[in-house]
Copies of this chain bind each other. A is one copy, B any other.
Amino acid sequence: VERFTKEKWQDSHVPGVVTGLAWTAVGGEILYVESSLSKGIGKLTLTGNLGDVMKESAVLALEYIKSNCKEFGINEKVFDQKNIHVHVPEGAIPKDGPSAGITMATALMSAFTGRKVKKRIAMTGEITLRGKVLPVGGIKEKILAAKRAGIKEIILSNSNLKDVAEIKDMYIEGLEFHYVNTIKETLDHVLV
């Protein structure tokens, strides 16, 4: 019963923070996935009132990065020497589903490499262990929420192209779409 306001996109100026698009009972929403590292032993901590499936997305994103660390220039020792925390703010709202996978992978990669994320960019997509980006639902509502928040560019799975094609032009004016097949393409485009 606590009230929340629809928020505008906020620049966080630090690595590890990525904007996602979620589909909740009250319509589309932007959400931030925050990740940070601290001295530790490789433990992953998840907060933000996340459901089982969303928690699995974070585990999956971390495993993808671990298995492919050489390709991304990350020293695999870091996985033993840092604890990793992933938080999705607005803890009063339960959050679930697989569509934050791409956002979590990007947030973790940003934290591990220290590279920031481009501004006013948001994304939604399920990921797989082999690094594919799968289509997700609620595309129209998510795009409306992104526009309302001041987002300029949106990353989607190639397989969601047909969902964007069905949306009236007036709703997507001023938005640029970037379609990807893999996590790798996403990171190449998004990390500064």
- Chain A positions within 8 Å of B, measured between CB atoms, are 1-5, 7, 10, 12, 14, 16-17, 23, 32, 34-39, 45, 47-49, 52-53, 56-57, 59-60, 63-64, 66-67, 69, 76, 79, 83, 85-87, 89-92, 97-99, 101, 126, 128-130, 132, 134-138, 159
Known pairs A85-B67, A92-B53; A159 contacts B32 (CB<8 A): no
With A4-B137, A128-B32 already in contact, the answer to whether A56 and B63 are too (CB < 8 A) is no
Number of copies: 6
Q: Evaluate contact between B79 and A59: CB separation under 8 angstroms.
A: no
Q: How far is the CA of A132 from the CA of B16 in the complex (A)?
A: 14
Q: Hey, which chain B residues are within 8 Å of A14, CB to CB?
A: 130
Contact with A49, one of B7, B53, B76 (Cβ below 8 angstroms): B53
